[in-house]
Structure 1
Amino acid sequence: MNKLPTNLPIAITLGDPCGIGPEIIARAWRDAPEISQGCFVAGDVGVMRRAMGLLSSGPRFPVCEIDTPAQALGVPPRCLPVLQVLAVAPVLPWGQVDARAGRLAGEAVLWATRAALRGEVAALVTAPLHKEALHAAGAPYDQYPGHTELLQAEAALHLGVPIERMPVRMMLANDELRTVLVSIHVSLRDALNAITFDAVLQTLRITDAALSSLLGRRPRMAVAGVNPHAGEGGLFGREEIDVLQPCLAVARQEGLDVHGPLAPDTVFMRARRRANGEREFDVVIAMYHDQGLIPVKYLGVEQGVNVTLGLPLVRTSPDHGTAMDLAGKGQADASSMIQAIRMARQMLA
């Protein structure tokens, strides 16, 4: 992906208004004013004012309405700019799955994605949406399992290419570990069927391109095996022999710095950043969703960031959901949102 202009604001989507998304945005403005400056919320003014009212400690500050993304760059510090990108939202109950909330969240993401593709914003940070609410909202949102698939479809439409020519991958990252997934939101049975030569090689290429831009050098990529002990020479499965080893051989011929396939029960420890700042690998390529996400989330959901690789735009998101049980109580932790904004800025640098 080519470097995007940095003299544009960053759009932060509202998230599900019944969940903690609006609150963690408000807390990010309060707790990290240095990184929220130059950002704005694509969503609803009333929802954000209601969320600001949840902050029980520390300063509260005004929520101001802006008319264009560019106006966000001139907003004074300690002021949260909101661009009203959807019809004025009704007051919805905290902590409940609601089709109206799903539609509002979906509309905000669609608007912000299209604005990024038009070059009106530098990057997109998405607050959590609720997949059940999104599906309940009906067309067009019910055809997308989540953010990643929606952004992929919009990017393909914008560029006029079939969706299969817009391959994307999910990277979960925190200060200690990065992992990229070969498959995302599919059943485990389907995920195992998705471990093909082409899918793994495509994942390696996308990861190499994205992290080369971020790190300023080619990343050292560790490839996790599919089976226990990475198959133990075929005793516990042949995916490593039949798929991964031939794939990695081609990747090495292309100049990619790849290692493996490695035992999945130890590879994440080897890739974890040590106390001295060093790490054996820059990223682990995981074969399916839970294999890659459990280690990252175990290290701390509050610090994790979800990054979509392969898009013609920068998109990051907190590594947690809508936390309906916490919504409206003023207890949500904004750390992951702050990290997501910081990661977006790093990817633009």
Structure 2
Amino acid sequence: MRRVVLCGGVLAVCCGCAGPAGGDEGRAPGAPTGVTAEAGSATSVHVMWNAVPGVSGYEVFRDTAKVAEVSASAHMLDVTRLTPSTTYVFTVRARDGEGRLGPRSREVRATTLAALAADRSAPTRPGGADGRAAGSRAVQLSWSASTDDRKVVSYDVYQGGTKIHSVGGGQTATVVTGLRPGTRYSFTVRARDAADNLSPASTPVRLATAPGADEGRDTAPTGFRATTRQADGAYYIDLAWVPPRVDGVVTEYQIQLDGQPATSLAWGGAPPREKASYSFYVGREAGVGHRVRLRARLPDGTWGAYSVERAVTTGVRP
């Protein structure tokens, strides 16, 4: 029997020693979470969402019109041929292998940039491209900022010859997740201005992920703390952490208590990006020791690395 609690915009599914709650067979998939939209130029918007496990694809809508269908392996899309200085509303919904369509995601808005007359000057090539493997399923990339006669509005990240992501013009680093263990990759970065002029590609960054099943240390929540408190004759564990710095929005976490999955958290409102906290009940007996840690479901639908593990004892102040 699962106990479902809604508290402060956080949906907690308490599963005892079971794993995180999954989709019910025979039902349509849930709505994608973590949907964001950011103008990439005067005529394009970059839409991202968190992957929904077990689906066959996604439909992306601009206002009420479906603009694209993408495969299950994608969780981003550049919506193009838009009008400058115009606000658009975007939603995404998932489709499973049986053709069932889930509900649309929450609406997100983005306003395209103003058109720039006769701008044919591309940004300079991003310099100093570098990176390192972060375990078996992630890499961290960085580069030096490009310059432009107007403004660099975004950077496009390529894996081989395929564009896999886009970040804002003020960002010069990213963590790429969802990679395969023990695999060699080549990444490049190109800068884009508001007129959709693209810079030359950066020098390639060639990296190999580590072998094995390590989730990647840079995908773990940081600054993790755990304390206990008493309220109304019961004991609770209070958790606080900083979400992992990955591109996209982390909306779901799994808490592990004493070596077993205990609770899955899914934010019902705007998920925290800088600091997160959660509290849960652990019983009425003092002097009981617990070990606790947590991990995030990444935007690509995979689980990230666990945080450090903390030990607490009910009724004992740290």
TM-score norm. by structure 1 comes to: 0.27
- Larger relative contact order (CA 8 Å, sep ≥ 6): 1
Q: Which structure has more helix as a fraction of its residues?
A: 1
Structure number with greater Rg is 2
